[in-house]
Amino acid sequence: MIRFEIPGEPGAKGRPWFSTFGGHPTAYTDKKTRLYEMLVRDAYMTTIGNPDPLKGELRVEINAHFGVPKSTSKRKRELMLAGKIRPTKKPDTDNIAKIVLDSLNGIAFEDDKQVVHLIVTKQYAEKPHVEVSIWEESEEES
């Protein structure tokens, strides 16, 4: 199993924008998305190193931990940190998964099409971060 942590508030995959400059349509990724993708890759490489990409069917769990807003009352803060109140704000879970999986293509695994089981959760924490766990489905059976 591979486990690593991405520091900071959870990021999301931004929408690409298109240009037809020079007569050819070209898709561009926004700077915020590119920077977060680099952060994900750096967190992975710092923790795991540079092993060969996984090749089989994969299970991925992504736990996004959001910081508690500063203006939150003490009672509400306690409920948030206890998991009684969960974040229903952006980014959406599917966009969190998209940016993490796209960032790891060719590094942790050959392609994110290998992911056959995906769980994404959102919760509050004292320190915002994203925890990522990846393992081959065959590991679970042993």
Q: What is the pLDDT of residues 12-56, one digit of tens each?
A: 877 666 666 666 766 666 788 889 999 999 999 999 998 899 999
* Alpha carbon 124 to its chain's center: 15
The number of distinct structural domains making up the chain is 1
pLDDT for res 12: 86
How much is the average pLDDT of 59-66? 98
How much is the average pLDDT of 95-119? 96
Angle ∠(84,96,113) on CA atoms, nearest 5: 125
* Residue numbers of the domain that contains 18: 2-141
How much is the average pLDDT of 54-73? 96
Residues 6+ apart with CB under 8 A from 32: 11, 14
Measured CA to CA, the distance from residue 85 to residue 58 in angstroms comes to 30
Residues 6+ apart with CB under 8 A from 48: 2, 4, 108
pLDDT for res 20: 66
pLDDT for res 22: 66
pLDDT for res 30: 73
CATH number at residue 132: 3.30.1330.70
What percent of the chain stands above pLDDT 90?
77
